[in-house]
């Protein structure tokens, strides 16, 4: 059985949902062939309509700030957009069921928004309740669109299928409970030869309180479903041809990486290749399930990117380059001149205490530099370290991370990389123990130039 996940742009409007229907129809056709290992399913996991999550979070913020009129206006526009997209549903019965559902969900949102406008406070729990609506309604529309085309479907409420802890806005799945819930909800639909359709990103605690898995978390939902139900493959349908050699928003002509290893994919995702949520790979690795990244705009033409445990070697030690903006460097200098015993432990304890994850670390005899991208608790961290160190911060930095399983066999690569950068100042440089990545920290203002130089050197056309 295949799990097919469709991102926001792949369900953004009626034409996108029409394309989704064709993709699922084709998958269904091959699934019903005798001997097919995928005779059940696929299980369809969908994101909110493109941009809807941002809108919902914006509405919550507006209501919390007391701008009730503005929040209501935005909410009405979002309701109208969903009702318009629902026009893709081609039978009156399926359409009216979906319209009633959309209206109920938006009526409920209006009540919540009204209450938040009075309370003037938006807690993470309320944020989740509001944000989750995006996937709840989009999945309902997609299920009805498929049903109206004659495909036997079953809409699954993700709040009854994914069980999480109570860490609102970045909840983690409770594996045993989730597996049981998926076997109680999705599996019966598969056995009945229906196509289960559910929203990604969303779950609920054991007590039934709605949670979300963090931004971009629909990929993670797909992987959770795939791992728990033993999928043969997880397909991530998106708006690009696969994992590209660099972020296409920065580099004009990146190339598609045909085959990635799990480790490469998770490094790239972690360091900014947004096409895959960083947590997605973990359940796929645990069950050794291949992941494919595919373009929903060109389902026939695009071969996409296959992600598996191992991949064949290529001639290039570098597989792709990821990049991340909005990074802060924290320099921590020991006030005792030398790095005393326990100094590093103390530093990382403080970061842990304030739940701030560190990306890149470099050390010298008397100082440690780390990068973080969530600076909300940084003032507390700096205060907590003040008794053992002088701490300074530098905002406006960026990370470039070159990734490749074969980098370990290319000892001169760092030299070539620095040479390619031809004078771009490098603030930090780190090569991880597995030697699968080389990470540079530079000023954000240098990012575009630096990425272009690196990409051109390692992936550019060789002059004739």
Closest CA to 137 of 88, 192, 97, 98: 98
| Contact partner, 48, from ligand ASP, Mg ion, ligand ADP, none, Cβ < 5-8 Å per class | ligand ASP
Comparison of 219 and 406: residue with beta carbon closer to ligand ASP: 219
Q: Are 123 and 33 in contact (CB under 8 A)?
A: no
Residue 8 is a binding residue for ligand ADP (CB under 6 A): yes
Judged by CB under 6 A, the residue of 217, 254, 317, 402 near ligand ASP is 217
| Sites for ligand ADP among residues 280-309 (CB under 6 A) | none
What's the token pair of residue 151?
């495909």
Comparison of 249 and 341: residue with beta carbon closer to ligand ADP: 249
Residue 200 is a binding residue for ligand ASP (CB under 6 A): yes
Helix (H, G, I), strand (E, B) or coil at 185: helix
Residue 216 is a binding residue for ligand ADP (CB under 6 A): yes
Comparison of 22 and 392: residue with beta carbon closer to ligand ADP: 22
Neighbours of 223 (CB within 10 A): 31
| Contact partner, 249, from Mg ion, ligand ADP, ligand ASP, none, Cβ < 5-8 Å per class | ligand ADP
Q: Are 399 and 371 in contact (CB under 8 A)?
A: yes
Q: Which helix (H) or strand (E) holds 399?
A: strand 389-403
| Contact partner, 142, from Mg ion, ligand ADP, ligand ASP, none, Cβ < 5-8 Å per class | none
Residue 201 is a binding residue for ligand ASP (CB under 6 A): yes
Name the percent of the chain in helix, strand, coil, to the closest 5: 45, 20, 35
| Contact partner, 304, from Mg ion, ligand ASP, ligand ADP, none, Cβ < 5-8 Å per class | none
Judged by CB under 6 A, the residue of 143, 225, 243, 454 near ligand ADP is 243
- Counting other chains too, the contacts that 62-70 makes at CB distance below 8 Å and 24 or more residues apart are 63/113, 63/114, 63/116, 63/117, 63/122, 64/116, 64/117, 64/119, 64/120, 64/121, 64/122, 65/120, 66/117, 66/120, 67/117, 68/113, 68/114, 68/117
| Contact partner, 384, from ligand ASP, ligand ADP, Mg ion, none, Cβ < 5-8 Å per class | none
Residue 274 is a binding residue for ligand ADP (CB under 6 A): yes
Torsion, Cα of 301, 306, 311, 312 (10° steps):
-10
Comparison of 194 and 274: residue with beta carbon closer to ligand ASP: 274
| Contact partner, 248, from ligand ASP, ligand ADP, Mg ion, none, Cβ < 5-8 Å per class | ligand ADP
Residue 134 is a binding residue for ligand ASP (CB under 6 A): yes
Closest CA to 332 of 372, 374, 363, 373: 363
Least Cβ distance, residue 11 to ligand ASP (angstroms): 10
Q: How far apart are CA 264 and CA 308, in angstroms?
A: 10
Cα 402 to chain center, whole Å? Answer: 20
- Beta-strand relationship, 291-295 and 305-308: antiparallel
What's the token pair of residue 80?
């109208």
Residue 42 is a binding residue for ligand ASP (CB under 6 A): no
Cα 403 to chain center, whole Å? Answer: 18
Residue 7 is a binding residue for ligand ADP (CB under 6 A): yes
Residue 199 is a binding residue for ligand ASP (CB under 6 A): no
Q: How far apart are CA 40 and CA 78, in angstroms?
A: 35
Comparison of 48 and 116: residue with beta carbon closer to ligand ASP: 48
| Contact partner, 244, from ligand ADP, Mg ion, ligand ASP, none, Cβ < 5-8 Å per class | ligand ADP
Comparison of 41 and 216: residue with beta carbon closer to Mg ion: 216
Residue 216 is a binding residue for Mg ion (CB under 5 A): yes
Nearest 5°: CA angle at 224, between 102 and 15? 40
Residue 200 is a binding residue for ligand ADP (CB under 6 A): no
| Range in contact with ligand ADP (rule: CB under 6 A) among 8-16, 84-92, 357-365, 414-422 | 8-16
Measured between alpha carbons, how far is residue 84 from residues 81, 88, 239 in Å? 5, 8, 22
In the numeric block, the tokens 């399930």 are attached to 289
Paired strand residues for 211: 203
Residue number of the CB atom closest to ligand ADP = 7
* Residues constituting the chain: 464
Judged by CB under 6 A, the residue of 47, 139, 261, 280 near ligand ASP is 47
For ligand ADP, the binding residues (CB under 6 A) are 7-10, 47, 216, 238-240, 243-244, 246-249, 273-275, 320
For ligand ASP, the binding residues (CB under 6 A) are 7-8, 47-48, 53, 134, 200-201, 215-218
């Amino acid at each position: 059985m295949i799990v097919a996940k469709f991102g926001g742009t792949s369900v953004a409007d009626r034409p996108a949902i029409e394309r989704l229907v064709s993709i699922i129809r084709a998958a269904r056709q091959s699934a019903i062939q005798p001997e097919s290992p995928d005779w059940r399913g696929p299980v369809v996991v969908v994101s909110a309509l493109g941009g809807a999550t941002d809108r919902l979070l914006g509405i919550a913020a507006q209501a919390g700030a007391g701008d009730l009129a503005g929040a209501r206006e935005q909410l009405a526009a979002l309701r109208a957009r969903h009702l318009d997209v629902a026009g893709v549903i081609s039978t009156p019965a399926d359409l009216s069921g979906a319209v009633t559902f959309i209206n109920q969900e938006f009526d409920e949102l209006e009540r919540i928004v009204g209450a938040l406008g009075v309370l003037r406070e938006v807690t993470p729990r309320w944020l989740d309740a509001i944000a989750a609506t995006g996937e709840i309604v989009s999945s309902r529309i997609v299920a009805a669109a498929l049903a109206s085309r004659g495909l036997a479907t079953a809409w699954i409420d993700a709040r009854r299928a994914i069980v999480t802890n109570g860490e609102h806005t970045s909840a983690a799945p409770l594996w045993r409970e989730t597996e049981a819930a998926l076997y109680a909800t999705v599996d019966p639909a598969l056995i009945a030869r229906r196509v289960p359709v559910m929203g990604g990103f969303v779950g609920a605690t054991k007590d039934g309180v709605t949670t979300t898995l963090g931004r971009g978390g629909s990929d993670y939902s797909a992987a959770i479903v795939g791992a728990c139900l033993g999928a043969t493959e997880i397909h991530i349908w998106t708006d690009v041809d696969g994992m590209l050699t660099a972020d296409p928003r920065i580099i004009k002509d990146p190339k598609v990486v045909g085959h990635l290893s799990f480790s490469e994919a998770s490094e790239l995702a972690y360091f900014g290749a947004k096409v895959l949520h960083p947590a997605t790979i973990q359940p796929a690795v645990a069950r050794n399930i291949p992941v494919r990244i595919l373009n929903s705009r060109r389902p026939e033409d695009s071969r996409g990117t296959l992600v598996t445990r191992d991949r064949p070697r290529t001639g290039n030690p570098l597989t792709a380059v990821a990049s991340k903006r909005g990074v802060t460097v924290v320099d921590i200098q020991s006030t005792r001149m030398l790095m005393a015993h326990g100094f590093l432990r103390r530093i990382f304890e403080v970061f842990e205490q304030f739940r701030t994850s560190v990306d890149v670390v470099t050390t010298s005899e008397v100082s440690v530099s780390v990068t973080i991208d969530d600076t909300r608790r940084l003032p507390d961290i700096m205060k907590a370290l003040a008794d053992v160190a002088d701490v300074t911060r530098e905002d406006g930095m960026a990370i470039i991370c070159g990734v490749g399983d074969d980098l370990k066999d290319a000892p001169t690569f760092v030299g070539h990389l620095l040479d390619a950068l031809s004078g771009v100042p490098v603030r930090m440089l780190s090569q991880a123990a597995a030697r699968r990545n080389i990470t540079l920290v530079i000023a954000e203002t240098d990012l575009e130039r630096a990425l272009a130089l690196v990409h051109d050197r390692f992936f550019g056309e060789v002059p004739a």
